[in-house]
Chains A and B, each alone.
Chain A
């Protein structure tokens, strides 16, 4: 099943076209990794999927992104409800400077979804879902910034899960973490794959190969605009890349 159907997506920062003609279908309940060098539009593409680019002045989107067949950029679609369905985990762990509990409860609270004991249940469920419950169950009232970086990032994942999204976007979620913490997040991603559609931007080739089912390779065209040069199953991309540039990139022939 295709969860997100992107067709001929162009993206502009002012007059600069940062993405050109990206067309791709993201499979439901799979992990799709986006790889490619810095500055070729991977993060920009990711941020199109939950309209986070809307907050940047002078940006413009052309083309279509359908979530379950519904155009997320149509006038009738509501940004807030879109972001409830498409959650995001950022590069640097960024819990709010509040307690562990308040961090996870933030989404359900602002959306007015749950209260009282329901809320406590939702928080526990989300922390369990993010494989963090056992480590923090005795210190839910503690400042989230007292957790280790790896724990903080899993807390951020719990915070997203608490909103009960369908899609989770991850923008280099492990780049600030050590290898052990990275492995835990990767294990977590594989567990989350049962329930969520995950799209991850990563610079770590091994990570893309290890965790993802599908992979997209971004590159720059001759106008220095980002394009999706190749897309396929992770196995195909990493073993039989069709595009010469993909092959050169994943074998490390580019920097």
Chain B
């Protein structure tokens, strides 16, 4: 075989590989859309489940997921971004900061069910928050913070040192340089990290399983100390725990969860590409 043939064969092989990467995603999305789209109408989105969840809508699950996302965001954004600023701008390279970085890397690799059990032990039982939106949000936040911290730290470090020097030379304090120049420059990267972190939180079942998710609730949550239904857990329930569940309701619920996650993903991508085009250093 001559070298040109080998090259062509190589192209075919890597082409097939890339097809294999994308095919499952397309198939999953397509099958969910085909089987679930017919279930989705305004009633499905805006009413409570009825007849043992076999009919009616999924409003409490949607609302619950938004509550959890909001609660998680409130906790993980300040902590995650604050930690990133500290690590990138202030922390000296000591054994302590190295340990923090190591912890962040390792936290990102912990299975989500472990976070769920940790949340149960610490927030639900020890701190007596009960199974509640607050306990579930805290658990999701702990899972999300490492993602936000590491992406934000990277974004902050990517801003040229020069800007900090210039800021100092004009009489700015370190914080003024960070606040007025570095953070605005790093913002798109930080926002992307936040959205990607929340994205993972939105789709997780295991961390909320013992900490805040309810099988079925007849009314919407009113305070942060109420338990709540949530899309991923609801999906798990109606696909495994309820016999005789209409298939299109299951797929419809999956489709809503998918749309929520996809739209967050699209927002993150748009923000990133918009700012990347504007950046000139």
Contact A96 B166 (CB under 8 A): yes
Q: What are the residues of chain A within 8 A of B184 when measuring CB–CB? A: 98
Give Cα distance in the complex from A94 to B166, angstroms: 8
A122 lies within 8 A of chain B by Cβ: no
Give Cα distance in the complex from A55 to B169, angstroms: 11
Contact B167 A83 (CB under 8 A): no
Task: Say what secondary structure dominates the interface of chain B.
Answer: helix
Contact B170 A163 (CB under 8 A): yes
Assuming A96-B181, A97-B279, A97-B280, is B166 touching A83 (CB within 8 A)? no
B42 lies within 8 A of chain A by Cβ: no
B172 lies within 8 A of chain A by Cβ: yes
Q: What are the residues of chain B within 8 A of A98 when measuring CB–CB? A: 181, 184
B173: which of A97, A107, A109, A110 is its contact (CB, 8 Å)?
A: A110
What per-residue 1/0 map shows which CB atoms of A103-116 lie under 8 Å from chain B? 00011011100000
> What is the interface size of chain B, counting residues whose CB is below 8 A from a CB of the partner?
19
Contact B170 A83 (CB under 8 A): yes
Closest to A107 in B: B170
B165 lies within 8 A of chain A by Cβ: yes
Give Cα distance in the complex from A83 to B180, angstroms: 18
Contact B169 A52 (CB under 8 A): yes
User: Interface segment, A84-92, A198-206, A240-248?
Assistant: A84-92
What per-residue 1/0 map shows which CB atoms of B147-175 lie under 8 Å from chain A? 00000000000000011011111111100
How far does the Cβ of A187 sit from chain B's closest Cβ, in whole Å?
24
B170: which of A55, A92, A97, A106 is its contact (CB, 8 Å)?
A: A106
Contact A55 B166 (CB under 8 A): no
Q: Which residues of B contact A (CB under 8 A)?
A: 162-163, 165-173, 176, 180-181, 184-185, 279-281
| 18 further interface pairs, Cβ-Cβ under 8 Å (given A83-B171, A88-B169, A96-B166) | A50-B169, A81-B171, A87-B169, A90-B162, A90-B166, A90-B169, A94-B163, A96-B163, A97-B279, A106-B167, A106-B170, A107-B171, A110-B173, A110-B176, A145-B280, A145-B281, A160-B170, A163-B171
